[in-house]
Structure 1
Amino acid sequence: MNTHTPTFARVGRNEVAWLGTGPVPTGPYYDPAWFELEREAVFRRSWLQVGHVCELPERGSFIRREVEVLKASVLIVRGRDDTIRAFHNVCTHRGTQLVEAEAGRQATFSCPYHMWTFGQDGSLLSAPDFEQFHIGKAECALPGVAVEVVAGLIFIHLGEPASTARDWLGPLAETLDRMPVARATTFSEYVYEIDANWKLTYDNFQENYHLRFIHPAAARPVCSNDNPFGYPTAYGFHGPHRTQRIWDNPNMPAPHPVQAIAFEKAGRCAAEDGLLGSTTVKDYIALFPNFFLFGSPVQHFSHTVMPIAADKSRGVIRLYWIGEDETPSERFAREYVMATARDVHSEDRSVIERGQRGLASGALKHIHFQDQEALCRHLFNTVTEMVETYRAELAVKREFA
C-alpha cells in the first residue's frame, strides 16, 4: 500500500490525486454480499481496537467484547501474573458462552451448563466426571485470541496476524504513545446504534465538507478568515491508516464564561501538565479499519464504529481522562464536554441514516468524493483492495479444489 505524508497550507487536488478522482460504486455501502466479503477480508485480517487498559485495573479484572461482524464474543482478562490475555468466550465442552457480564473481577470462569471451570490464563481447572472424557485438560483450554496493548489501547486480532499490532501501526504507534490516551485512567462513554453501513457512518466523521451545513454552531468559532469552512490543513496516509490536521484558528473567539471553566478544567483532566498544547489544533488519527482518535486536549476522544450488518452499526465514543474527578467543577467539566460531543453527534445521525436509505434504494450506481473527502476515498480504496485480494484467493482455492 502507498504511504504519503504531504503537509501543506490547504489540502488541494495535487496532493490527493494519487487516490483517484473517479466515481465510487454504491454497492459496498449496502450490499449484503459485499458485507460478507468484508467479514473475512477486512475484519478477520485486521487488528481491532476494543478497549483500554484502564478497564483492567487489577488482577482478575475482565471485560467482554462482542464482535458481531465476526460472530465472536471475546473475554479479555488481566491474569494473576499481571499479563493481559484474550480468549473466545466459549466453553470447550459444548460451546456455551461462559460470561454474560460486560465487565467484572473473577478468580475463575465457570460454564453455567456443566460447570467446567477455567482459570484466568484460560486453562481448564476442573470439570465434573472429567475422567469419563477421552481427552486431557490441557487440550480443553479456552481458545486464545491475539491481544496487544499499544498506548493503553487494547487491540485484538481474530485471525492469524502477520505482525504485531505495534508493527502494524508503524510510526503512528509512537504518536499514540505521546498522547494522553496512553496515560488515561478512566473515561466517559456514549454508545449508540445506527441504521447505516459502517463505512458510511465512519465517513461522516472523517470529512469536514459537511461542517458548515450540519454543525454551524460548532463550526463558527473554529473557522478563520483563512479557512472559513474548517477544512483540514494537512493529510497523512500511512499504509491502511490516515491522519489529518483539522484546523488552527489562532483568533478563536473567547468562550462564554461557563464554557471557559468547563474547557479549562476538562483540558487539565484530559492531559498532564505540559501536554496540553494548543487547544485550537486538533490531530485526527484514523486506524484501519474502524477506529479514530481525536487529539484535542479539551476533547480527547475516540470513536469506534463496529459493523453489525450491511445496514446497521454500533458506535462507541469515549472521552479519556487522567485521574478521577475530585471536585464538583471537574465533574461538571467532564459532563459538559460529553454533552457537547453528544449534541454535535445528534446532528449527524439523521443525515447518515438518510444517506443509507438513499443508497439502499438502488437509485444511484455511483457516488462522488471531492478533494476534501480524501480520507473517505482512502478508506474505500483500502477496503476494496483487501476484498479483491480475498476474492482472488478464493478463486485460486476453487481452481485447485
Structure 2
Amino acid sequence: MNSPTTFTPVGQDELDWLGTDPVPTRPYYDPEWFELEREAVFRRSWQQIGHVCELPENGSFIRRELEVLGASLLITRGKDGEVRAFHNVCTHRGTILVDEEAGKRSTFSCPYHMWTFGLDGGLISAPDFEAFHVTKAECALPQVACEVVGGLIFVHFGKPESSLREWLGPYANKLEMMPVARATTFSEYVYDINANWKLTYDNFQENYHLRFIHPSAAGPVTSPDNPFAYPTAYDFHGPHRSQRIWTKPDMDPPTGVQAMAFQRGAVCAMSDGILGTETAKDYLGLFPNFFLFGSPMQHFSHTVYPIAADKSRGVIRLYWIGEDETPSERFAREYFMATARDVHTEDRAVIERGHKGLASGALEYLHFQTQESLCRHLFNMVSERVEAYRAEKEGVPA
C-alpha cells in the first residue's frame, strides 16, 4: 500500500466484492450466536495473548485468562529459552496452579496436593505417585499450540491447519518490520465495556465517526483533499485486513505541551532507527480480535476479548523500545498514553449506546458504507466460520 501525497478516495467499486447489502443485527447481540462464535471462531483461530518482553528470562511466566473459552493459560519461557503455553490446571484434580499474573519460577506446585511441574509442563514429582497407576509422562500439563511472530505471542486452542506465519501471510513480515518486534516494555490500559466484542472492535477500524466523536483529534489531520481523514488504502489477506492511515502533508506542527512530547518521542524513535519506516502508517487488523498501529511514536495495539454476548474487555498497549532513561522521555511516553486514553474515553459511551440499541431488537439490519469496509470484512469472516461450524455439527457436506 503506497501512501499518496494527495488523497484519492477508495471507490465502492473496488470493494464491491465484500458485498453491499444491509447486515443482520442478530450476530451483534444474540447469546446463541455468541455461543457459536466461541467454538467456530475463538477455539479455531490463532489469538494474540502477550509479548515476549513479558518473558525476559528463562523461568519467566505470565498467566492469561480467556473467558470466551473458560480457559486459564500459563505461558512460560523454559530453560531452553522456548516460549510455551499450557492450561493452568493441575492434571491430578484440575486445580488452578498459578494465581500470580506474572513472575519467575523453576517449578509450579499445586496448592492442593503438591503435584509439581517444570517449565516444560512435565510432571516432576507427586506425593505417593506410585499409587496412581499412570506414568509421569501421562500427567504433563495440557499444552496449547503457541508461536511467536514480531515479538507477539499467539496461542491456538484447537489443531492449527497451518503455522502462525503461514496464517498471517504477508502481515507476518509487516509485524517484524514494526517497533513491536523489538519492544522491551509497554504501557497498558485495560477496560471492561457493556457491548459485544465485534461492535467494540468495529469502532476502531473505521474513520467514519472521527469528525463526530473526536473533532479535536480529527481537526489537525484533515485537509480540503481529505476533509474527514479517511484512510488512503485498504488491503485484505484471508481473514485479516489493513488500512493505510492518512497523514496531512502540510500539517501544522504541534505546539505547547504536545510539541514537547512529540519532540522527545521523535528523538527516541530516531535513536532507535525506526522513525519513517514503511509500516509507520499501517493499521493491521488480525483476525479475530487484535489490531496494531505501526506509528513509532504512538505504537499501540488493541485486543478486544469477548466475555459474553453483551460484554467485552479491551487491552490497549503502547509498546516501547528501551526503558525510560530521562524524565523527558518518561513524560513523552506518559503523554502518548494519556492522549490515547482521552480519545478512547470519547468512544466508550457511544459503543455501549450502539449495543443497547441493537440488543433492543428494534432493527433487523444495520448498514455499512465504503469507509466501513473493514467492519463488513470482519462480519463476513465471522459469519463464514459460524455457518461452516453449524454445517459441520449438522453433518452437512461442505
Cα shift readout 1:121-177 (whole Å, capped 9, x = no counterpart): 000011111111111111100000100010000000011111111110001100111
Q: Give the corresponding residue for 2:316.
A: 317
Aligned residue runs from structure 1 range 222-233, under 5 A: 222-233=221-232
Q: Give the corresponding residue for 1:149.
A: 148
The verdict on how the C-alpha distance between 1:221 and 1:281 changes in structure 2, with shifts beyond 3 A counting, is farther
Q: Give the corresponding residue for 1:88.
A: 87
Residue pair 2:68, 2:306 contacting (<8 A) in 1 also: yes
Q: Give the corresponding residue for 1:184.
A: 183
Identity %: 74
Q: CA deviation at 1:280?
A: 12
Q: CA deviation at 1:281?
A: 6.1
Q: Give the corresponding residue for 1:374.
A: 373
Q: CA deviation at 1:277?
A: 0.7
Q: Output the amino acid matched with 1:13.
A: Q
Residue pair 2:3, 2:244 contacting (<8 A) in 1 also: no
The question of 1:351 aligning with 2:313 is answered no
Residue pair 1:43, 1:289 contacting (<8 A) in 2 also: yes
The question of 1:338 aligning with 2:337 is answered yes
Residue pair 1:78, 1:120 contacting (<8 A) in 2 also: yes
Aligned residue runs from structure 1 range 294-313, under 5 A: 294-313=293-312
Residue pair 2:59, 2:77 contacting (<8 A) in 1 also: yes
Q: Give the corresponding residue for 2:55.
A: 56
TM-score (norm: length of structure 1): 0.95
Name the CA distance, whole Å, in 2 between partners of 1:28 and 1:154: 28
Q: Give the corresponding residue for 1:288.
A: 287
TM-score (norm: length of structure 2): 0.96
Name the CA distance, whole Å, in 2 between partners of 1:242 and 1:54: 26
Q: Give the corresponding residue for 2:72.
A: 73
Q: CA deviation at 1:236?
A: 0.2
The verdict on how the C-alpha distance between 1:136 and 1:239 changes in structure 2, with shifts beyond 3 A counting, is same
Kindly tell me the number of residue pairs found equivalent between the two proteins: 395
Moved more, 257-266 or 374-383: 257-266
The verdict on how the C-alpha distance between 1:254 and 1:391 changes in structure 2, with shifts beyond 3 A counting, is same
The question of 1:260 aligning with 2:259 is answered yes
Gaps of 5+ in 1: none
SS at match of 2:250: coil
Q: Give the corresponding residue for 2:206.
A: 207
Q: Output the amino acid matched with 1:39.
A: R
Gaps of 5+ in 2: none
Cα shift readout 1:301-357 (whole Å, capped 9, x = no counterpart): 000000000000000000000000000000100100000000000000000000000
Q: CA deviation at 1:271?
A: 6.7
The verdict on how the C-alpha distance between 1:273 and 1:201 changes in structure 2, with shifts beyond 3 A counting, is same
Name the CA distance, whole Å, in 2 between partners of 1:144 and 1:63: 15
CA RMSD after TM alignment: 1.9
Q: Give the corresponding residue for 1:360.
A: 359
Q: Give the corresponding residue for 1:246.
A: 245
Cα shift readout 1:283-302 (whole Å, capped 9, x = no counterpart): 10000000000111221000
Name the CA distance, whole Å, in 2 between partners of 1:140 and 1:5: 53
Residue pair 1:279, 1:296 contacting (<8 A) in 2 also: no
The verdict on how the C-alpha distance between 1:5 and 1:309 changes in structure 2, with shifts beyond 3 A counting, is farther
Q: Output the amino acid matched with 2:165.
A: R
The verdict on how the C-alpha distance between 1:267 and 1:303 changes in structure 2, with shifts beyond 3 A counting, is farther
The verdict on how the C-alpha distance between 1:123 and 1:271 changes in structure 2, with shifts beyond 3 A counting, is farther
The verdict on how the C-alpha distance between 1:190 and 1:93 changes in structure 2, with shifts beyond 3 A counting, is same
